[in-house]
Structures are given as C-alpha cells and as structure tokens.
Structure 1
Amino acid sequence: MKRGAILVGVAALVVLGTLGWVNRKDVILWVVTTLAKDRDIAAYSPITWQQGPATAPEGDRPPNIIFILADDLGINDITAFGGGVAGGRVPTPSIDRLAAEGALFTQAYAGTASCAPSRAMILTGRYPTRTGFEFTPTPDGMGRMVSMFSEGASGLPPTEWNSDAAGKVPSFDEQGLPGSEVTIAEVLKTAGYHTAHIGKWHLGSGPEFGANAQGFDESLLMASALYLPEDDPGVVNAKLDFDPIDRFLWARMQYAASFNEGPKFAPGGYLTDYWTDEAVKVIRANRNRPFFLYLAHWGVHTPLQATRADYEAVGDIRPHRLRVYAAMVRALDRSVGRVLAALKDEGLDENTIVVFSSDNGGAGYVGLSDINAPYRGWKLTMFEGGLRVPLFMRWPAGIAAGTRIERPAAHIDLMPTFAAAAGAALPAGVAIDGIDLLAAEPPARAHDALFWQSDHYRVVRQGDWKLQVTERPKKTWLFNLALDPTEKTNLAGKAPAKVAALTALLDAHRKGGRGPLYPHTIEAPVAIDRTLAQRVRPGDEFIYWSN
C-alpha cells in the first residue's frame, strides 16, 4: 500500500509539474500581477507647488523655458509635416502652431532610438561615451519576462536574455544618470531659474539619481505606467497581444504618482491631462520669476489608453488600437494648447521659449505601419524612423515665425541652446557635445558629425552621409540622405572609401570615450520594415537591439 501511495504521489507531482511547465507563462503573469504590485498607493492628494514672488522685479528678465517631451511619438503622428495619425484624420493644431509661429528643424534627431539615453543626452548635452548612460533601465524582471514571451509569432528569433549580465546590473532605481553629471536644470539654477519637472523621469531615483538630486526644485513623478485604472469607466483600453512588452506593462503597471519622491498616490485624472493641469499651476505660481518647466509626457507610449471622450471625438477609425492611439495624440495636442493658453493668460507668452520634441521615433511594437512615414525603421532601430523626431521652438521675442532650420539638429543640442538663451554659463571643465541651435553664426560641430550607439550597433551621420554598422547580424549600410532620405539604397558596396572614412570616425568616437555604466541584459531582434503585428518574410532586414 505504501509503495502504491508513493507511486500515486509521484505521478501527481509529475502531472502538476508538467501542467506548471506548460502553463508557466500564465503562472508568471499571475505572480507578476499578484505579488509584484505596490499595495501602498494612497488616494489622490492635491499638490502644493512653491509660489514665486507676488510681483515681478523691474528690468529685463531672461526667458522662461518650457520643454514638452512626448514619448514614442512618430514624426507622422502630427500634421505639421503634412501627414498625421490615421491618414491625417486627427489634426494637431496646437503642436503645429509651435512650428508655424517659431522655428521648425527639418532634420531633427533623437539622442538615440530608445527613451532613457535620449533623456540623459537632452539634460546633459553629452553622448553616452562620456556619461556611460547607454541603455534604457527596465523594471526588475521585465527583460526576462519579455524574452520568455517573445517566441516568434512575428517570425523573428526570440529575444535573448543574459542571466549572467543581469546579476551585474543595479536595481531599477539605481540604474541612473550619475550625480556627477551636470544637467540643464542645475545650469539654469545658477542663473536664478526656478526648476520644475512633471511626468516621466526614467533616469534613476533617490539622493543621487532622482530629479530633485539632478537640479529640479520640484518634481511630480510618474510612479508607474497606467494613464487611468484599467477598469475606470472613463477609459478605453487597447491591449496588444502580439507584444511581450505590452503584456508586461498590463500585468505589472499601476496608476500612481509621487511628489518630490514622497509616498505614491493616485493622480488626479487621465495622465496626459493631469500633468497638464499641474503644468498650468506651475506656470501661474512662477509668473513673476524665470522658470524652467520640463513637462515629460508618457503619451503616446504603451499601454494604449485613451479617455472615452477623446475616443469618441476621433471618430470611427480602425483598427481599434489605431483609434485609441489617435485619441492619445489628440490629448497630447490638447496639452500643448493649454500650456500656450496659460502663458497668454499670465502675460508670459512673448518671453517664454516653448520647445516640443519626442524622445525617439514611433515604436513598431504598437503594430501601426504609418507612424514614422515616409522613413524606414522604428524605435529600437537607428534608421531614420527610429531617430527622426519633431523639434519645434516657439519664442515670439527671439525667434521669427516661420523660421525653418535645415541643418541637422539633435537632442544633445538642447542643453547648450537653453543655457545660451538664459545667459547661463556652461559648466566649467565639462565637455559638451551639443551646440547652440539659435546662435546667429552656427558653431561648428565636431567632425561635422552626429553619433549614435547601442553596444555593437553604431551609427554616424557626417554631412549628408550616414553609416550604420551592426555585429548582429554583421551588416553595413551606407546612405546618402540628400539623395535618399528614406534609406532605400544601400551604397556600402559601391563606396568603400566612404565606408572606411566613416568607420574610422565611429572607432575614434568610441575609443575616446568610456564604456556603459552597466551591461545590457537582452538582445532583441527588431524588424526594420515590418511592425510587430506583421510576420517577417524571407529577405526582410532586422537588427538586434541591445538593452
């Protein structure tokens, strides 16, 4: 009897183990959803912002600076360039107004093709070869889960997870921009500016890495990633079953904010609108002193969530995820309009610089094929679709309406541009890679070149020539952007001397710098010409993105 009972028990364990293995993804999702979420998110609490002086000092005053950064916004999501989301059915008049009433940079580039390193370059004006901040921090467990859920419905190889490297990476909060780096907020404070941050940060937290530690007097932080609770009656959700990142976000993320790194609490509305509500309060509170406001929106990053009102307003757009996405773009444009209206109401319109950009190109993993048109590639590739971003600067007192700047501009240029406009000195002894975009005589850029890199994937643009080299797969692309701005014709085989010269520039750029702060843990294949909702075909090109 005992032997029989033991055999039955062993058989039961084998069955349970087999079922657990077969359903391991569902088990992992349950663990992430049930055990990893924060249980200590308080109810909504109003923010008390610091109040500036009751009256403005006499004499000239440096310009206020408001930098509005979208997340994963494709260059074809706005109508300023003649396109627009959903075939132009959802116009973006407020964002377009910035371009029409100020400077439009026709060849503007993100710092890189993913979010956090671009943000570090915006704040410091320095390449990752100087700061070491080369990879985007991901929440603990995200890389491993994404690799497990990436098993090839698209026809791509699965994402690779490096557990050895993962053991050498700091926690999510400690994967930050080093406190030794000098940010534009710190520079502007030396010139008497009040500095405020609202929204996404993604550069670490705590006494070295958080926004307050990096020069911001006040910081209202996005503390998780939902725009509204999933079951809120005023929200419309669009889940992307083909995207492992989306599955992680829905399983793990919550609806939360924090102020000056204090306790988490529920925000006061749909995230895009809530950040704007608070931005308007900051403008009013500081109307009598110079201020720098960094409004870092989460829109239009996944998870895709729109207000029901915006969803109804954009009309019958299909598929459903495109309609939700279009509604999110509408909310982002409304935010810009409300900021401009607040400046007008407070008498600050003429002497405030308002800058709008996106941290990188639109993401292929949302499954929408036209968001970066006409350019090839997506976020996580360094084709123009992953790097080209809108960049508009409106400053009625200092920039003529309708200004078009044709020379290449980049995120590393924003820090020195803001400092020059404010009359603030750049940090002594610190090498700044960017240039002042508004200088009367454009300064020379070192080697007349812009650089991008993510581990083995390296890119340089010098003049009109752009070289991309990657080790996985081993590939070289050379394009003449003046003749081929959409990177259709690879000239690498026909111009070996140009390849050699640009490769030498890449090698010198890396040799003269430092390595990354911490190793990458995943290698993710990304198709260049197909979204994640489409199957790749034989001959389709793809790269591996290190993170």
Structure 2
Amino acid sequence: MTTAQPSPPNIIFILADNLGWGELGCYGGGVLRGAPTPRIDALAAEGIRFTNFNVESDCVPTRSALMTGRHPIRTGALQSVPAGLPQGIVPWEITLAQLISRQGYASACFGKWHLGDRPGRYPTDRGFDEWYGIPRTSNESMFTASPGYDPSVTPLPYVMQARAGEPASDVHVYDLEARRRIDAELTERTIEFIQRQSKANKPFFAYVPITQLHYPTLPHRDFAGRTGAGDFADSMVEMDSRVGQIVDALDATGLAERTLLVFGSDNGPEFRRPWRGTAGPWTGTYHTAMEGALRVPFMMRWPGHIPPGRVTNEIVHIVDLYPTLARIAGASAPTDRPIDGLDQTDFLLDAQAHSAREGFVYYIKQELRAAKWRDWKMHVVWEAEPNAGAKHLESPLLFNLTRDPKEETDVGSEASWVRTPIRRMIHAFQQTLKEHPPIPAGAPDDYVPGAGKERQHDGVKREK
C-alpha cells in the first residue's frame, strides 16, 4: 500500500441511526438478530473494520462532533430539541462540508440533518450544495397518528429539500408512511447524485445520514415481512440492501478506486421498547456512558489505499473524522479554535501502526460522565440505563475493558495508577474549556466566541 498522500478522492459517508455495535453480521449479529447483512459485511471485508470506534451520547452531539471536529460541550449542540426551539450549531462553526466544498467538491446531504431547523442552519447554509431529508428526527413521524396531536402547538414535521443559495422548502408531511419510504428516497437521490457527478467528472462528497434504525423502526413496504422476525429485522435487511444499492451504483461508474466509502452509526442502540437494540458484548445503550453507547460499528473502503480485510481495535473517535477527511480532501482544519479531532490519515493508509489517539473524555450534555484511555474506562458518574438516575461517585469506578467488557468489576484499588493518566487527560481538556469557554446551548446566529462582547443565549449582550 502506498504511504504517500494520494490524490483527493470522492467521499461517500453513510451514517446509520441508532445502529448498535452488535446488530450487523460482521459484528456478531446479523442472522442472530434475524437479519443477515451480507452487503455491509462485504463492505467491511473490503476495507478496514473498527471494533473501537467511539461516538457521543446521541444523535445531535455526534453529528455536531462529525461536522465540527469538536466535542459537543464546546459547540452547545448537546441534545435533541423539539421544533421551534433554538438548536443546532451556530454559523461561526466551520463544518466539514464547508472545508471539503472549498476544495472544489460537489456536495450533497441526503437524510437526517439534526443540526439546525431554520434558515441559516440548514445543510445548504452550512456547506452543502443540495439537501433532501428531515431537519430533525424520525420519532416526529409518529405525531400525526398520536391521539390528541395538535399541529397548532407542535408544527407538522416535513421532509424538506433545498439548494445552496435558495430557500429550503417542504416536500411532504413526514408521517408513518413517509417514514417507511424515506430511506428508499435518500438512496435514489444519492445514486442520482453519484451518477451526475461521475458524468461531470467532478469530485464529490455525499453525506448520507439514513434514518434506520431509529424508532419507530418501520421498514419500507417492499421489505415488510421479509425476515419473519418483525419490523426491526426487516428494517435492518432494508438498511443492508440500501447500502448495497449505493455500493453497486458507485462501482458501476468505475469510480470505486477513486472513492473513500464510509459506513458507521451515530450512537449506540435504542433503549426504548419495542425498538431496543443490542450492543453485543458491551453493556448499555445511547444516553449513557456505558461502552455500548460509546462503541459503534464503523468501516471504511478505499481500494488501493486502505488494505482490505483489516480489523483494528485501536481507539478512534468521531471527532477525528473532521481533520482526517479534510486532509484526505486536500483541506486543513481551522486553527483559530480548539479542534478535538486528531488526524488519522496515516493510520488509515497503513503508514502508521497505531491510532493517533490514546483516549478521550465523555460528556453527556454539560456533565463529565467518564473518560477512556487505552484499555481502561473511568466513570465519575454512574448511570447504566437511561433515566435510572445518575449517581455522582465519591470514588470513581475503573474498569479494564479487555478483561471486563461489561463493566462489572471495579479495579480502582488494584490499578489505581491508571487514574493518573486519565486525570491528566481530563485536566488538560477542562483547561481548554476555561481558555475557550463553551458556546451556550441555544446561542443565536450572531454568537462569536471570544469577541469583545458576546451575545449570550438570551440575546442580552454582556461584557466578557
């Protein structure tokens, strides 16, 4: 494999929603979950599959981390927020799409955005040339079927579309039938975009945040009953098929060797029943600091550059994709703000044996919950299940994830030395928060960190 920096490739990034570590066949699920996933399994075998790829606590924080290279404690994109309330990332943030588009790429977002639902914060305001999808999340598709739903107080959810420089528009109501159809629509538009850019001979970035397996986990009618194992399994088979369609369309253009193809998940599995998923050997779901929330399936294929059949347990984090994909596209991450992501290009291209990362801190909203370093995990707040009640620990719990993947046996006494590097990592990160105060959740569009006067979330100007 070459160790030189290759020419900038096309980039296709398919991001699944609430797909747990243990769902896919290549991660020990598949037929055990009633849903074989041969297309995604094959994709993993053709490149690198990560067993220790880490994300944030749920949808919005992870998508913010991907698009900014910064932990959500910095960006203020801390959680999902209902329609009509301030949400997403402020325009001051420089998105991955902006970095890549500036290199002459055509760019498109087909799917769930969840980083702003008003003009100025839509994907086409944040670096993408075109967008088709939903501004927030799939559970809104249940609104119109909910007894007592009143659209005068909670707006109707819509599938939307937009092109850069033009206003976004509503396409149709996002109800339960539309929820079944949407991933087919996203796939069709992604394929059309790939084919269009192939004919134009222009490099492209296709960000495809599909909606499966987010609740309500409902398959397209063409896949309903396919497995005999229920809607969840049918939806997973549909997801596998949609990924296969995109791969086939790309390969048919002859651009496979000139395209970096990425597939992953935004967070750990759903905790709500009847849609609860699995994280395989790891304990927990999203909205916790358990390993089942942090680790997700993730893989990359780039023929001729990323060796096939490679599996790594090195720690990589979603924030790392920001500087990594930027460099691969010929761009550079901004230097006027803290960027938490580490460039993993050399590691991906097999020019470096180990990840550039040894660990990371983990916040839920504004609270430090845990930190992970090498094979170790230290919890300062314990909540194994969402809504179980956070326990603030006087003595942190320490686990060795290799010997104890389910985080059941505290080894804080016998391995107390591990607290030193973990505490140093936490201290260093928190020092940067003092030097660069976080953007408050709900900050207005004109918020600029570090200005002489900063607009705070209530719109009142205050001296620093």
The one of 339, 360, 365 equivalent to 1:450 is 360
The one of 126, 138, 159 equivalent to 2:70 is 126
Indicate whether 1:183 and 2:90 are aligned.
no
1:396-475 maps to which residues of 2 (within 5 A)?
A: 396-439=303-346, 440-441=351-352, 445=356, 448-454=358-364, 455-470=366-381, 472-475=390-393
> What residue number does 1:484 align with?
404
1:349-368 maps to which residues of 2 (within 5 A)?
A: 349-367=256-274
Task: Provide TM-score, normalisation by structure 2.
Answer: 0.80
1:330 & 1:228 partners in 2: Cα distance? 23
Deviations 1:234-284, CA, capped at 9 Å, x for gaps: xxx9x9x9xxxxxx9xx9764633334522112887111111011011101
Three-state SS of the structure 1 residue aligned to 2:218 is: strand
2:138 & 2:274 partners in 1: Cα distance? 20
The one of 100, 117, 130 equivalent to 2:61 is 117
Q: 1:94 to 1:183 in 2, by over 3 A?
A: same
1:196-235 maps to which residues of 2 (within 5 A)?
A: 196-223=108-135
> What residue number does 1:136 align with?
79
* Paired-residue identity, %: 32
Deviations 1:498-539, CA, capped at 9 Å, x for gaps: 33552343243223213452289xxxxxxxxxxxxxxxxxxx
Q: 1:444 to 1:355 in 2, by over 3 A?
A: closer
- Specify the structure having the higher radius of gyration (Cα): 1
Three-state SS of the structure 2 residue aligned to 1:96 is: helix
* Offset at residue 385 of structure 1 (A): 0.7
Deviations 1:158-188, CA, capped at 9 Å, x for gaps: xxxxxxxxxxxxx43x312121111111111
1:264 & 1:206 partners in 2: Cα distance? 12
Amino acid at match of 1:303: P
Q: 1:95 to 1:227 in 2, by over 3 A?
A: farther
> What residue number does 2:12 align with?
66
Amino acid at match of 2:288: T
Amino acid at match of 2:122: G
The one of 79, 83, 86 equivalent to 2:25 is 79
1:231-380 maps to which residues of 2 (within 5 A)?
A: 254=157, 256-260=159-163, 262-266=168-172, 270-287=181-198, 288-315=201-228, 317=229, 323-367=230-274, 371-380=278-287
State the aligned residue count: 407
Three-state SS of the structure 2 residue aligned to 1:311 is: coil
Contact 2:270 2:276 in 1 (8 A): no
Deviations 1:2-41, CA, capped at 9 Å, x for gaps: xxxxxxxxxxxxxxxxxxxxxxxxxxxxxxxxxxxxxxxx
Q: 1:62 to 1:487 in 2, by over 3 A?
A: same
Amino acid at match of 2:410: N
Indicate whether 1:517 and 2:435 are aligned.
no
1:84 & 1:300 partners in 2: Cα distance? 14
Q: 1:252 to 1:344 in 2, by over 3 A?
A: same
> What residue number does 1:541 align with?
none
Three-state SS of the structure 2 residue aligned to 1:313 is: coil
Task: Provide TM-score, normalisation by structure 1.
Answer: 0.68
Amino acid at match of 2:13: F
Three-state SS of the structure 1 residue aligned to 2:272 is: helix
Contact 2:344 2:356 in 1 (8 A): no
2:130 & 2:381 partners in 1: Cα distance? 41
2:362 & 2:76 partners in 1: Cα distance? 13
2:316 & 2:220 partners in 1: Cα distance? 34
Q: Which runs of 5+ in 1 are unaligned?
A: 1-59, 141-170, 242-247, 318-322, 521-547
1:176 & 1:519 partners in 2: Cα distance? 8
> What residue number does 2:38 align with?
93
Three-state SS of the structure 1 residue aligned to 2:219 is: strand
Contact 1:224 1:256 in 2 (8 A): no
Deviations 1:112-169, CA, capped at 9 Å, x for gaps: 1111110111112122343333x113215xxxxxxxxxxxxxxxxxxxxxxxxxxxxx
Question: Which protein is richer in helix relative to its size?
Answer: 1
Contact 1:206 1:213 in 2 (8 A): no
Contact 2:115 2:135 in 1 (8 A): no
Contact 1:459 1:506 in 2 (8 A): no
* Offset at residue 215 of structure 1 (A): 0.9
1:365 & 1:129 partners in 2: Cα distance? 25
The RMSD of aligned alpha carbons is: 3.1
Contact 1:228 1:305 in 2 (8 A): no
The answer to which of 89-98 and 480-489 deviates more is 480-489
> What residue number does 1:154 align with?
none
